[in-house]
Amino acid sequence: MAVRRTLPTCAYGGQFIRAIRRPGSTVFPTQRQLGGLIVPTVGAVMEDCGRGGVLGGRYELGRVLGRGTFGKVHLARDIRNGRSVAVKVVDKEAVVRAGMMEQVKREISAMKMVRHPNVVELHEVMATRSRIYLAMELVRGGELFGRIARSGRLSETSARRYFRQLVAAVDFCHQRGVYHRDLKLENLLLDEHGDLKVADFGLSALVDHVPRDGLLRTTCGTPAYVAPEVLGKKGYDGAKADVWSCGVILFVLLAGFLPFRDSNMMAMYKKICRGDFQYPPWISSGARRVIAKLLDPNPNTRITVAKLMETSWFNKYKVQKPQSTTEENGKQGQMEEEPEKLNAFHLISFSEGFDLSPLFGGEGIREDGMRFTTREPASSVVSKLEGVAANTAGKYRVTKSGAAGVRLEGESRGRRGKLAIATQIFAIAPSVLVVEVRRDDGDTLEYQKFCADELRPALKDIIWSSSNCQTVGAC
């Protein structure tokens, strides 16, 4: 494929954000870039940040990393710990006018459900009357896209390493009912250690949004990476469509160019539907066998992620590393801490008018969390929460505990992985705490049952039942 200069995509924003061009930047042209989607951006974000450009008393905003249709992305510093983050600012009114609010909700919901080393992490979501703020992991290594543009192709060893990380992330997402639907090189970032991070969940589909027959029907994704059944518009399985996109990515990593390419879009679609592509001579026979199984035009016979991870090519030179237990990781991360002070921005975000709960659950009802006030000290709240795990006869364990919150995790896998419940404790006054409980992982229905059977009865006697106590959600 010919290399040309164009405006690089900023994966933090998906189709919402477009990166500022830097001198000397060279990347492949993309279908999205060729569509001419650059439009005037929203107004200054600083009006919501208070003095000194500090957002909600937490994030000190710096230069703009990218901008686009519905907002911009700022480099920012978390003043609580000095960590650099990327803050995506989304203009609510612009999103509503464009009819894109459901897509923004899906992006946030997907990112909240997926916490994995190879997925860009969403740290926090905040809101004001006019904007939504997404504080995300800052990935400094650039796009894998750019590395291919510079080198032309990767060695098979390097390609296999990145591909394993991609598949690990995809498998994790699928187990939690999240299908990306727009996997491509432009959405694969590299951190400072050279590890892969999957970004841009703007087109993701959640199991909760999939029709009863299990088939999706919206044509999403970038044409060169899209599976044949997606083009057919007859309904498709999101997991199988993601597998096809992984096959295209693996081909590009090894070949240095796309498997399906044609100046005529309809001709390219026909090649995709037939699985019509040619291997360059340097791709090994083992890699060819894997690619052929991934780029099978028939979704019913296409290889699954589970079978892919069993292939000899995928596991070649793989070193099994002993993994530390979740409990050990939690203990290593523990430190002396206090409940976080609740500031005015928290109160605005918690208030009914600006509550982001509809983004994470049903219509106006927050299905994955609750909030209550208590006059008990943080140590008592923590003790109660730890007691919940102790009373489940080993079904749940404490993976993190401290004055700022507790995390519980189930021992067995449910419908969407292990159920995990995270709590945060905020100090609203010397003798008053706000406790926020949310589903951190796993199935919503299993979470609600756990709340009804275990959590709510255990916490009942510490909830301050006054007009100041607001309980949110179905828990």
Write out the catalytic residue numbers.
182
268 neighbors 217 (Cβ within 8 angstroms): no
Are 110 and 204 spatial neighbours (Cβ–Cβ below 8 Å)? yes
CA–chain centroid gap for 142, Å, is 17
Instruction: Decide if 61 contacts 46 (C-beta within 8 A).
Output: yes
Element (H, E) at 436: strand 432-441
What is the residue-wise DSSP string for 112-138? HH---TTB--EEEEEE-SSEEEEEEE-
* Residue pair 339/436 in contact by the 8 Å Cβ criterion: no
**Torsion angle of alpha carbons 349, 18, 37, 295, nearest 10°?**
-100
**CA 431, CA 439: separation in Å to the nearest integer?**
27
- In the numeric block, which tokens belong to residue 419? 């159920």
- Beta carbons of 373 and 432 less than 8 angstroms apart: yes
Query: How far, in Å, CA of 146 to CA of 396, rounded?
Result: 44
Tokens found for residue 315: 């596991």
- Contact in structure between 252 and 280 (CB atoms under 8 Å): no
End-to-end distance of the chain based on CA atoms, in angstroms? 53
Continuous H helices in 235-393:
238-255, 265-274, 285-294, 305-308, 312-315, 326-333, 344-350, 378-390
Cβ partners under 8 Å of residue 153, min gap 6: 159, 253, 254, 255, 256
Nearest to 100 by CA among 132, 63, 78, 52: 132
DSSP-derived secondary structure letter, 108: H
Contact criterion met (CB below 8 Å) for 108 and 90: no
Please name the amino acid found at residue 420: A
Say whether 321 counts as a known binding-site residue. no
Give the SS3 label for residue 454. helix
